[in-house]
Chains A and B, each alone.
Chain A
Amino acid sequence: MQKRVPLTTSPPRPRWSYARFQQHFAPYIFTSPFFILFLIFGLFPLGFSLFLAFHLWSPLDGLGNWQYVGWENFQLALGARDQFWAALKNTVFIGLLAGVPQHLVALPLAFVIHQSLRRWQGAVSTVLFLPYITNAVAITIVFGMLYSERLGLLNYLISGLGLDPVRWLGNPSMVPYSVAMVVFWRYVGWNVVLYLSGLQAISEDVYEAATVDGASSWQKFFYITLPLLRPMMFYAFTLTIVGNMQLFEEPYILLGQSGGSGGAGLTSATHIFNVAFRDLDMGYASAMSWLLFLAIFVLSMVNNYLFSRGGGRS
């Protein structure tokens, strides 16, 4: 027989105390809104779209009435001459048309502002930043009016020069340029601001030393500014790649669901939207979303590789 040991001599700990609650649970409760919202609006849709990518489902059939089809949706999208490829091609083309000039203009512009407009720098960056924070829909509607073939300002100016009016949104070979122009206008200021902040992080001492060594402005730009701006350039390029691959609002409002004349402005995102909400083929749209994600991932990795390789050399 064992002797019974008295339970405890110290007073029993209260099950609930304010201090204990503060220490152990309050942080979780205060941070929980993010996690709850993320679970509902972030993780769940992500998982659901992965699930749908392997199913055939029309939302009109209601939840639960899906049919498992395996890889069929992916095979459908990847098949030769599927619209998926045409849309992806348009997206990359418009992305390059809008993206490359953005950086070719933004970088020197930021340099000039940084070097010569010290006093007005704040005001100039604000003006350049305005398009970025203005509503995309409003911007696109204004551009739509400018592009109007018979009533638009652009063609009014062009015919003033004695040239034939341009069918900005009617001619399939003009459509990508017209869309790219809107995107360029909207994001060039954003990139200038990014580069400006990058430039401001470069120590003045480096430039002073270069001046002492007798370096010209060009030399300073190419041998000091550009190499030291690399991290910011990498960041800005990545944002442009991700943003342009997901291009939706501008072409959708400018050209409508069909992507304009000949579907020349049908981007991947518009195509996915159409398939999901017009054709109600949610599985196929989900599969294409994941393929688009893959394409963005690969392009970002290529960008990363190019930058890190250059970094190794210097």
Chain B
Amino acid sequence: MKKIATFALITALLAGTAHAQDKVTLTVAAFPSLDSAIKAILPAWNKKYPNVTIKLQAQEFADHHNAMTTALATGQGLPDVMAVEVGYVGKFAEGRGLEDLSKTPYNAAAYKKLFTPFTVAQATSSDGRFIAMPTDIGPGTFFYRKDVLDKAGVKPEAMMKSWDDYIAAGKTIKAKTGAYLINTAQSVYGVVSRTNLKPGEGIYFDSKNTLLVGPDNARFLRAFTLSKQVRDAGLDAKIGEWSNEWYDAFKKGTVATQFSGAWLQGALQNWMAPDTKGLWRVQNLPENSFASWGGSFYAIPSAAKNKQWAWEFIKFMTLDKGSQLTAFTDNGAFPALLTAQNDTVFNQVVPFLGGQKARLLWRDAARKTQPIDVNKYDSVADQIVNTELTNVLEQGKDIKQALADARAQILRRAR
């Protein structure tokens, strides 16, 4: 009894000091380019909370997540606030090292309705714990080179009506301009496999952990078939993303279209192909489908030293309209906060996209995107299915056989 009383006293004292005017240092671990968004917001934070210094620990994307994984495993070297990218949030949610923000003292359940709905689902574990607050989202979109399409006489709206129209247009583009339709046939698989999901379905597993990949699944059959049609027609340039050839294709216009998150506009404008300003436009994904393509979150490790201020910081980053808009204008981090999406800045034209009001299109796409269930074996399935897809594309393997093989391999690993 005495022990509990002492403990309660110490806890009360510690909680008390957090509110006092003592200097507090809060460590925040993040990855590029989220770190630059944080830096842009920091002046506003320092003005509001001059006694709380933010120590920003930024590492490269994979290094950051590896470091956080190790820190969570051992409980050592954890930051107070941890940034998590959407590719990792599902795995981190299933782990036990992060605070459930829907519980007291956070009570974040009340804030969920303030965010774009699908992003909240991404940060929720299968047993209902809400482990991270969304800060930015990546609405999936379709980029195309207006100059190339004009030269080929292809209308973008007609092209996007169906995947068959898309491939047919690609043949015209190739014949008239010599430009490829897309960087790689795998990208077509990427879009088709993650759109038109039924409620309760993830890309590879449904909410009951049932594997969806297989020769009988219409979505995967179609994704593989369309991908192969693109390859067989010679419409893809066979170049991988994030390669020098990819950037070169953007600069020279040798590839006419690209599926991506809205964030690609910022990357194109800032470093990939700044000279192509005005030549690009965006549209929704084919067949009027919607998909989430990236996004970032903030979480609090259970072993963090300064949870109270960590929560204040996260609220400032995610729930403050000003912060969200600063991040958006600084490096194109699309706000997850709905009120920020209603700002007049969204009505402004995007000069890089030839004066298109693209932000309105993206906002609309984000609101129509359905939540996708995440599974901790998504990365396993992703690698296995992509390897089988390559076998289909490169070695002419039968599609049904490839999907059956993929299914068998994933089932082994998902336990």
Report A's interface with B, CB cutoff 8 A.
56, 58-63, 65, 76, 79, 81-83, 145, 148-151, 167, 170-172, 257-258, 261-263, 274, 277-281, 284
| Interface membership of B312, Cβ < 8 A | no
Q: Is B70 an interface residue (CB 8 A)?
A: yes
Does A149 contact B74, Cβ atoms closer than 8 Å? no
Tell whether, in the assembled complex, residue B245 and residue A149 are in contact, meaning their CB atoms are under 8 Å apart. yes
A280 partner, pick from B69, B74, B415, beta carbons under 8 A: B69
Give bound CA distance, A145 to B94, whole Å.
Answer: 39
Given contacts A79-B412, A167-B238, A279-B380, whether A59 and B390 have CB atoms under 8 Å apart is: no
Residues A258 and B412 in contact, CB atoms below 8 Å apart: no
A62, B96: Cβ atoms closer than 8 Å: yes
Can you list 17 residue pairs at the A/B interface with Cβ under 8 Å? Answer: A59-B70, A60-B72, A60-B91, A60-B94, A60-B95, A62-B74, A62-B95, A148-B245, A150-B245, A170-B240, A257-B383, A258-B383, A262-B387, A263-B383, A263-B390, A277-B66, A279-B379
Q: Which of A60, A76, A83, A150 sits near B73, CB closer than 8 Å?
A: A60
The 6 closest A-B pairs by CB, nearest first: A60-B95, A59-B73, A262-B390, A263-B387, A61-B96, A279-B380
- Inter-subunit contact A60/B412 (CB<8 Å): no
Chain B residue numbers with a CB within 8 Å of A76 are 412-413, 415
- Whether B245 pairs with A58 at a CB distance below 8 angstroms is no
Cβ of B97 and Cβ of A83 under 8 Å apart?
no
Asked whether A151 lies within 8 Å of B248 as measured between CB atoms, the reply is yes
Closest to B91 in A: A280
Q: Decide yes or no whether B127 CB sits under 8 A from chain A.
A: no
Q: Say if the beta carbon of B409 comes within 8 Å of chain A.
A: yes
Cα A262 to Cα B96 in complex, Å, equals 34
Q: How far is the CA of A62 from the CA of B66 in the complex (A)?
A: 14
Cβ contact within 8 Å between A274 and B97: no
A59 contact from B72, B245, B384, Cβ within 8 A: B72
Contact call A149/B248, Cβ cutoff below 8 A: no
A61 with B394: CB separation less than 8 A: no
- How many cross-chain pairs have Cβ atoms below 8 Å apart between A and B? 94
CB B351 to nearest CB in A, in angstroms, measures 29
Question: How far, in angstroms, from A145 to B96 measured CA to CA in the complex?
Answer: 42
Q: Which residue of A has the minimal Cβ distance to B73?
A: A59
Q: A301 vs B198: C-alpha distance in the bound complex, in angstroms?
A: 55
**B73 to chain A: which residues have CB within 8 Å?**
59-60, 62-63
Most A-side CB within 10 Å, residue of B245, B387, B415: B387
In the assembled complex, the CB of A76 is this many whole angstroms from the nearest CB of chain B, namely 6
- Contact assessment for A81 and B391 in the assembled complex, using a CB-CB cutoff below 8 Å: no
Residues from chain A with a CB closer than 8 A to the CB of B380 are 279
A152 to B39, CA, bound (A): 38
The interface residues of chain A lying within 8 Å CB-to-CB of B14 are none
Does the CB pair B394–A261 fall under 8 Å? yes
Alpha-carbon gap, A261 to B408, bound state (A):
21
Contact of A82 among B66, B72, B96, B412 (CB under 8 A): B412
B244 within 8 A of A: yes
The distance in angstroms between the C-alpha atoms of A284 and B384, with both chains bound, is 16
- Nearest residue (CB) in A for B252 is A150
Q: Which residues of A contact B409 (CB under 8 A)?
A: 81-83
Residue B359 is within 8 A (CB to CB) of chain A in the complex: no
**Is B245 a contact partner of A277 (Cβ separation < 8 A)?**
no
A280 (CB) vs chain B CBs: closest residue = B91
- Please tell me which one of the listed residues B239, B383, B386 contacts residue A274 in the complex, with CB atoms under 8 A apart: B383
Determine the chain B residues whose CB is within 8 A of the CB of A65 once the complex forms.
Answer: 96
Verify B69–A59 contact, CB threshold 8 A. Answer: yes
A280-B70 contact given A60-B91, A172-B395, A262-B395, CB 8 Å threshold: no
Shortest Cβ distance from residue A1 to the other chain B in the assembled complex, whole angstroms: 55
- Kindly state whether residue B376 has any CB partner on chain A within 8 Å: yes
In contact, B238 and A81 (Cβ under 8 angstroms): no
Known: A262-B390, A279-B379. A62 touches B75 (CB 8 A): yes
Q: A262 with B97: in contact, given A63-B73, A148-B244, A151-B248 (CB under 8 Å)?
A: no
With A60-B92, A60-B96 already in contact, 14 other A-B pairs whose C-beta atoms are closer than 8 Å: A56-B415, A59-B70, A60-B73, A65-B96, A83-B413, A145-B244, A149-B238, A149-B245, A171-B394, A172-B394, A262-B394, A262-B395, A263-B387, A279-B379
Q: A151 to B237, alpha carbons, bound, how many Å?
A: 13
- Select from chain A the residue with minimum beta-carbon distance to B408: A81
Chain A positions within 8 Å of B96 at CB level = 60-62, 65
CB-defined contacts of A151 to chain B, threshold 8 Å = 244-245, 248
For B248, what are the chain A residues with a Cβ–Cβ distance below 8 Å?
150-151
Chain A residues with Cβ below 8 Å from B91 are 58, 60, 280
Instruction: Report chain B residues within 8 Å CB of A81.
Output: 405, 408-409
Q: Nearest A residue to B242 by beta-carbon distance?
A: A256
Find chain A residues with CB under 8 A from B66 CB.
Answer: 277
Task: Tell me, yes or no, whether B377 is within 8 Å of chain A by CB.
Answer: yes
- Rounded to whole angstroms, the CA-CA distance of A277 and B84 in the bound complex is 15
Collect the chain B residues with CB atoms within 8 Å of residue A167's CB.
Answer: 238
Q: A149: which B residues are within 8 A, CB to CB?
A: 238-239, 245
Which residues of B lie under 8 Å from residue A63 when comparing CB positions? Answer: 73-75
Report the bound CA distance from A65 to B94 in whole Å: 13
Instruction: With CB as the reference atom, state the residue of chain B lying closest to A59.
Output: B73
B192-210 CB contacts (< 8 Å) to partner A: none
Partner of B390, one of A83, A261, A279: A261
**Once the chains are docked, how many angstroms separate the CA of A171 from the CA of B239?**
11
**A62:B384 contact, CB within 8 angstroms:** no
CB contact list, B45-93 vs A, under 8 A: 66, 69-70, 72-75, 91-92
Most chain A CB inside 10 Å of its own CB: which residue of B70, B75, B96, B412: B412
Residues on the B chain within 8 Å of A59, using CB: 69-70, 72-73, 95
Contact assessment for B384 and A83 in the assembled complex, using a CB-CB cutoff below 8 Å: yes
- Which residues from chain B contact A150 at a C-beta distance below 8 Å? 239, 245, 248
- Contact partners of A257 in chain B: CB under 8 A: 383
Shortest distance between the CB of B29 and any CB in chain A (Å): 15
Chain A nearest CB: distance from B390 CB in Å?
Answer: 4
A62 to B92 alpha-carbon distance, docked (Å)? 11
